[in-house]
Amino acid sequence: MASPITNIMDLRELARRRVPRAFFEYADRGSYDEVTLHGNRAAFDAIRLRQRVMIDVDKRSLATTIAGQPASFPLAIAPTGLTGLQCGGGEILGARAAAAAGIPFCLSTMSICSIEQVRAAVPAPFWFQVYVMRDRGFVRELIQRAQAAECSALMLTADLTLQGQRHREIKNGLSVPPKVTLRNLYDIARRPRWAWGMLRAPSRCFGNLEGRIGGADSLTTLAQWIASQFDPTLTWRDLDWIRELWPGKLILKGIMDPEDARIAAAEGVDAIVVSNHGGRQLDGAAASIDVLPEIIDAVAGRMEVLLDSGITSGQSLLKALALGARAGLIGKAFLYGLGAMGEAGVTKAIEIIRKELDVSMALTGQCDVHSLSPDILLRSDGRPYRTRQS
């Protein structure tokens, strides 16, 4: 009899067994020596929660808004590439689970299912994440397609104009679609559930790129294709051009420095995502949670601040909210659920984090996500936690 799934790490272990190695490790691993990947978790663990008792916490409220959109609790699903290769139709399954849970879902440019496929299959509008590529005409087309699909926000990812080397992707020969080698065939043959899902999937290549950019359906390696297509000339001035194309909510992802946060606020961005790309870009960068307090101070309430990278539990989400984040985004936790059990696994991951947040709020004497503050946090030695600089 299988053990019950009680936390995100249980979903990770199940996904590891069910998803071919190349795709599981694409979701699971980081760049270079993975210092930042592991640092994200360690930084959250170094922050402790202040336990309180004898406080009436019977009536608790988790509801909020994120980028102007109502949410049942302060969580959104981050844009993740190759989602549909964790599980057939993965983007559709993730968007459905998010809609049912009442939280935002963000579709990646590098998704397997296209904008149109996801929109046709889900009941609610979703966010769309865009990378700026050398072919600006294609970027314009992507934004227009997002408008046609009635996407409720556009997320511009700013920290991947050049890709940090991810050793496991090279060692695994990651490509889309997968290369046919003896090793890959054996790996897939051991996972018939995954293979059957792929055969039934609406798409197995990059749905948003297929037929529009040369080589998108026959990549040598993902890293080589990104190097040839993504535009390292991206600057703050490009925000003016994007704003002309996109009249709705604009979210900027990849902010890790207070000065960049101040510039984003001055440029009129609606929200930023404090993110080190899950430890998959600049290795040696700080943990996202470590730079959050200073960024919150820098923007001074001029826009919403979301946090990504390292949220794998309700406790880590609570810590981010207490430090001033409007909401958290999950990438790895989402993909673990998807790879483990498809849509039901995504639902399970969301519910695990929601329940942990709810219980942890109560045990710290809190009833409303909008009333959280650093007062509920302690340093690892038990001293009061105000900011990292205090």
| The two three-digit tokens of residue 121, written as one number | 């299959």
Beta-carbon contacts of residue 98 (< 8 Å; ≥ 6 apart): 76, 77, 104, 105, 126, 346, 350
| 227 alpha carbon, distance to own chain's centre | 22
1 exposed, middle or buried (CB, 10 Å; 0-12, 13-18, 19+)? Answer: exposed
DSSP string, 343-354: HHHHHHHHHHHH
Measured distance CA(219)–CA(304) in Å, rounded: 37
Q: For the chain, count helices (H), then strands (E).
A: 15, 12
| Active-site residue identified among 38, 167, 277, 370 | 277
Q: Residue 245 phi/psi, 5° resolution?
A: -85, -30
| The two three-digit tokens of residue 292, written as one number | 């959050």
| 237 alpha carbon, distance to own chain's centre | 25
Does the annotation mark 277 as catalytic?
A: yes
Residue pair 303/318 in contact (Cβ under 8 Å)? The answer is no
Catalytic residues: 277
